A and B are shown apart, each in its own frame.
Chain A
Amino acid sequence: MLRRGEILNNTYEVMEEIGQGGAGIVYLAWHLRLQKKVVIKKIKDAFGGRISERREADILKSLHHKYLPQVYDFVQMGDSVFTVMDYIEGWDLLKYIQRGQTFSERQLLIWMRQLTEVLEYLHGQKPAIVHSDIKPSNIMITPEGDVCLIDFNVSFGDGGTRGISGYSQRYASPEQIYRSQVIRKGGDPRTVPVDRRTDIFSLGASFYHVMTGYPPVMDGVAGRPLSEWSGLPYSRWFLGVIDKAMQVNPKDRYQSASELLGDLLNIRKRDADYKRVRAQEKAVYISGIFCILAGVICLFLGGKQLNREHFQDEYQALEEMAQTDDYDAVVSTGVDLLNNKKYSGVLEDSQEEKGNILYMIANCYFEQDDYSQAVRFYREALDCSDENPEYYRDYGIALARHGDVGEAKAALNSAIEQGLGQSQIYLVQAEIALAQDNYTEAVSFFGQAIDGTEDSYDKSRAYLLCARAYRAMGDYGQEITLLKEAEQQADSRYLPSILRALGAASTRYGAQAGESERQTSYQEALRCYETLVNLPSPSFNDEMNLAVVRQILGDYQGAQAQLLSMEQTYPDDYRVYMKLALLECVIQGNLSENARNYSQADAWYQKAEQYYAGVRNSGKSDDEMQELENVIQELKNKGWL
């Protein structure tokens, strides 16, 4: 026993005895260095041997928590060992219970949370520290309103290997009580493991007492679960938490302080206001994300649709261009459209349109007599759309023109299988006959093709192919006669093609005809091109051919007027200036030497050169341009320029 004024370890001056517990006598002392009150607790002699293990003392001294008293020291004096720790002002919970004081659920929740945090801290140490003696008298309430868990007398280690048999019966867990009985009977305590869940039980039991005013065990009889009580001013949820903490089977309790703490914090989630805000939060995020997703999908689909629309615009423009005779432009535009990466997806989905583009390109090569390229593109068109009889028809005709008679016949058979009309069959048969130099048979088939159809397009096409056959046979007169007949019967949509063919045929015929027929032929050509130029959308070639024929007929003024009109429409086309320069040279050459002035010709030549540079750089060349250059050079040599 310590006396008042006695100094322990030269540090602690005993002030008074303030209590006596099961494990030791408690003194109030003064820490001479820290100048604060401390509690000195004597551990009974029976524990001395065990406590002398410095490691356990160091563990307790190393504990620092807001809701634990700080252990400062372990002092051994003779056979007695004393612990020195913070003195905690205030009352313990038992005093409040004994005074009949009740507390709100809010206050109890705060304390329970604090105690659970302490347990979480203690159980989380290595090795885990189990208090083993949690009860209302060991729960101090400080003047600040916080808890402080005191009395670590029986709180060493974990796993239930200790031989301690002391416990507080009212608040001890069933396994703790049973283990104690085993020890008393001399049994092995290791057969009854006691772990951190015992603290959870004791905590629940302590709060049971606070909330009901009755201890959980009275006279050896356990009280009813809180959920079976009526009239308690606490939520059913909170009562359920205490009941769960006090389950007889440790497996049915909270398995850890963390789990209990989690459940305590979950009470917020049951609150109506909390649920409302959470619902609003969910609604905001769901609607926001939904709008963004919908927006992205619309943008994606819109992009695809827009791409398709742009493709359709370009496709339609190509179809209109294909009605003219600007074959190079159609080929170049068609190839660009096919190779445009932007439209690769659209083309994949629209094999028919892809086939049509290839077909238009093939037709252009066909019209330019490049049958090798025409065959290639017709074949590619068939790869895209192999059920189109017209593709097979034109493929067969191109093959025949290319000299592949066998393949042309195979193509014709395929066309027949796909349902090609009889007049169309005659066309192909005519071309095959022509390829085999069987002219009589070819003309007969062409005639049957022309007579066998009422379709304007088919009829016009048959006329054009037949006219070509006559040209191949060298019968230009018959070619022109046939084309004139075609002109009479042609639909306005196909009249331009007939007029172009007739104009070209008349020009060719005039070039090799005798004097008497030359004028007639060129006049016929003039009529054709004048008609073409007066149609809504004449092509560049139509206008240029008109200027050329006028020049051939000696109408230099008319030719020049036509070319000057073209300069307005095609200001960047070198061919216009080239023709103007050549015409001007002819005009000046017809004047007397004194009246000649080639400066305008030179000016047009310069312009032609300027716009021709781009064509030259692309690797192409124009023989007429070369001729003009020679003329200009000669004029320079002769001093005219």
Chain B
Amino acid sequence: MTYGEILMICGAGLAVLGLLILVIGAIVINGKKKSLKQKLYDKYGL
């Protein structure tokens, strides 16, 4: 495998990984935010 091919594969892999992190991360964080919102309301009424 040539350096160019290795770089392309790494690049594609990183980009896909980044997208997965954003998508899955967003889903997980949104879930946490929802429960946090309720927790904060219970704590501060705001």
Stretch of A20-28, A286-294, A337-345, A557-565 that contacts chain B: A286-294
Contact between chains at B36 and A113 (CB < 8 Å): no
Query: When chains A and B are docked, how far (Å) is the Cα of A281 from the Cα of B44?
Result: 22
Chain A residue with the shortest CB-CB distance to B32:
A277
Query: When chains A and B are docked, how far (Å) is the Cα of A419 from the Cα of B4?
Result: 38
Report chain A residues within 8 Å CB of B25.
Answer: 281, 284-285, 287-288
Number of interface residues of B (CB under 8 A): 33
Interface size band for A: 35 or more
Query: When chains A and B are docked, how far (Å) is the Cα of A124 from the Cα of B43?
Result: 30
Contact between chains at A295 and B8 (CB < 8 Å): no
Contact between chains at A295 and B12 (CB < 8 Å): yes
- Known A-B contacts A274-B40, A298-B14; A309 and B46 likewise in contact (beta carbons under 8 Å): no
Chain B residue with the shortest CB-CB distance to A303:
B8
Query: When chains A and B are docked, how far (Å) is the Cα of A284 from the Cα of B29?
Result: 9
Contact between chains at B19 and A292 (CB < 8 Å): yes
Query: When chains A and B are docked, how far (Å) is the Cα of A289 from the Cα of B36?
Result: 24
Contact between chains at B14 and A267 (CB < 8 Å): no
Contact between chains at A290 and B2 (CB < 8 Å): no
- Contact of B36 (CB < 8 Å), options: A264, A274, A302, A307: A274
Report chain A residues within 8 Å CB of B18.
Answer: 287-295
Query: When chains A and B are docked, how far (Å) is the Cα of A301 from the Cα of B6?
Result: 11
Q: 1/0 contact trace for B18-46 toward A, CB 8 Å? A: 11011001101100110010011001111
Report chain A residues within 8 Å CB of B33.
Answer: 277, 281
A–B Cβ pairs within 8 angstroms, 20 of them: A109-B45, A110-B45, A113-B45, A265-B46, A271-B44, A274-B40, A280-B29, A288-B18, A289-B22, A291-B17, A294-B11, A295-B14, A298-B11, A299-B12, A299-B15, A300-B11, A302-B8, A303-B8, A305-B4, A306-B4
Please give the residue numbers on chain A whose beta carbons come within 8 Å of chain B beta carbons, in ascending order: 105-107, 109-110, 113, 264-265, 267-268, 271, 273-274, 277, 280-281, 284-285, 287-309
In the complex, besides A271-B43, A296-B11, A305-B3, 17 extra interface pairs with C-beta distance below 8 angstroms are A264-B46, A267-B46, A268-B46, A277-B36, A284-B21, A284-B26, A291-B14, A291-B15, A293-B18, A294-B14, A295-B15, A295-B17, A295-B18, A298-B7, A302-B10, A305-B7, A306-B5
Please give the residue numbers on chain B whose beta carbons come within 8 Å of chain A beta carbons, in ascending order: 2-19, 21-22, 25-26, 28-29, 32-33, 36, 39-40, 43-46
